[in-house]
Structure 1
Amino acid sequence: MPAIEAIVIGCSTGGPGALALLLGALDQRLQTSVIVCSHTASNSHLLCDVLAQHSTLPVIEACEREPIRGGMIQVAPPDYHLLVERGRRFALSVDEPVGFSRPSIDVLFASAAEVYGNGLIAVILTGANADGAAGLACVRRAGGLAIVQQPDDAAAAAMPRAALELAGADHCVALDEMGPLINRLCMT
């Protein structure tokens, strides 16, 4: 299996609680880049502060042209699409919402798939819409791994269900199993 360079995580309804649990379970020695896109944050500084209370890794807001860094959590700012560029830097876009969402999980996942290919893990958590399903399909086509929260374990099952129906998954697990799974995949 190729080395995992980056992890992209998408969530919506119920996302902050799910992120807190998942990020809190990641090994503090993890050197993989972790990029989060959440629809529920109108203030990413507040979301970063909340997640930092639970995460074993530093949590910051992703900024335009900033390098993607390993060993930390970088969160998409509100009202911008977050994209990964070939030079492993972030780009922000104010293009129209995709599936009524900006930031769009699909946009982040598709751009990350182009850059990282089989060195990418994409994670779909709880949410009440279908954003992330098409992006997850892009990740799988590029050889990346797909991890989806079990729909019956999610606060809102629509997002993981849509992802499973459109893209399938390499792993479909309960939220409390995700952190240990990611640690095993990235640190072995």
Structure 2
Amino acid sequence: MDDASLALALAGRRISAVVIGASAGGVNALIEILPGLPREFPYPVVTVLHVMRSRQNQLVEVFQQRVALRVEEAVDKVEPRPGTLYFAPADYHLSIEEEGVFSLSLEPPVHFARPAIDITMETAANVYGPELVGILLTGANHDGAAGMAAIGAAGGLTVVQDPAEAQVGVMPKEAIRLRAPDLVLPLRDIRRLLQLSMENLQ
């Protein structure tokens, strides 16, 4: 998709936060998207990845070496800051409370996952409404589909990785089936969309 078409999808839209979900193949997908964002990126980027507990603590180190954004693990009762990439901690669900701060919980897994993408996306949709951008990437289960539907219902911008390009297409296909997203894009266009969003500040 060309820049003009991507810019049209952003036209008139105020953005306060970006939330990204991914499972199998997600680390590689994020490495293609996020290095293009500058340190002064004007929104927080909240990311939920399904990874082994032993790998979770390595995500901050891995991405801090590759991106200009600050990279942190989300901390309970802390408000997300612009220009920061947050990862959901291992074995905790990550929510956004009405007050706009993170909340961690040990509720049962959703779609066999904790953290669950759906929980983060659904609570973020409640807080940010039409000012939220939701992005769902490669994955092997249905987690994230309901979350993306909630973002769309709240008026947020929904973006799904093209299943034909995804390492595992199950997750994006389910999101598309449940509620048609605003955009279905390859990774290069998702990266460009986020870059163009900085030019769209209201």
Instruction: Return the index of the structure with the highest Cα Rg.
Output: 2
Aligned to 2:138: 126
Alpha-carbon distance between aligned partners in 2 of 1:175 and 1:50, rounded to the nearest angstrom: 19
Q: Does 1:96 align with 2:145?
A: no
2-side partners of 1:41 and 1:122: how far apart? 23
- Spell out, residue by residue over 1:87-134, the C-alpha distance to the aligned partner (whole angstroms, 9 max, x if none): 111000100001111100000000000000000000000101110000
Aligned residues: 188
Cα separation, 1, equivalents of 2:67 and 2:180: 28
* Secondary structure of the corresponding residue to residue 116 of structure 1: helix
1:92 counterpart SS class: strand
In structure 1, what is the equivalent of residue 13 of structure 2? 2
Structure 1 residues not aligned, in runs of 5+: none
Residue 145 of structure 1 aligns with which residue? 157
Paired with 1:184 and 1:150, the residues of 2 have a C-alpha distance of 19
Shift of 1:32: 0.6
SS of residue paired to 1:91: strand
CA distance in 2 between partners of 1:23 and 1:113 (Å): 22
Q: Which residue of 1 aligns with 2:30?
A: 19
Contact 1:4 1:186 in 2 (8 A): no
TM-score by length of 2: 0.90
Q: Could you say what secondary structure the match of 1:152 adopts?
A: coil
- Residue identity matched to 1:30: F
Alignment match, 2:78: 66
Contact preservation (8 Å) 1:147, 1:171: yes
| In 1, Cα distance between equivalents of 2:159 and 2:52 | 22
Aligned-pair Cα RMSD in Å: 1.1
The percentage of aligned residue pairs carrying the same residue is 38
Question: Within 2, Cα distance between the matches of 1:2 and 1:153?
Answer: 27
Distance 2:40 2:73 in 1: 20
Does the 8 A contact of 1:109 with 1:132 survive in 2?
yes
- CA distance, structure 1, for counterparts of residue 170 and residue 133 of structure 2: 21
Which residue in the other structure is 1:170 paired with?
Answer: 182
Question: C-alpha separation between the residues in 2 aligned to 1:83 and 1:158?
Answer: 24
User: Which amino acid in the other structure matches residue 76 of structure 2?
Assistant: E
Decide which moves more: 41-50 or 9-18.
41-50
Larger deviation, residues 48-57 vs 135-144:
48-57
**Aligned residue type for 1:116:** Y
Cα deviation for residue 185 of structure 1 reads: 2.5
Partner residue of 1:29?
40
Q: In the alignment, which residue of structure 1 is the partner of 2:93?
A: 81
Given that 1:30 and 1:187 are in contact with CA atoms closer than 8 Å, whether structure 2 keeps it comes out as no
Gaps of 5+ in 2: 1-11
Aligned-partner SS, 2:164: helix
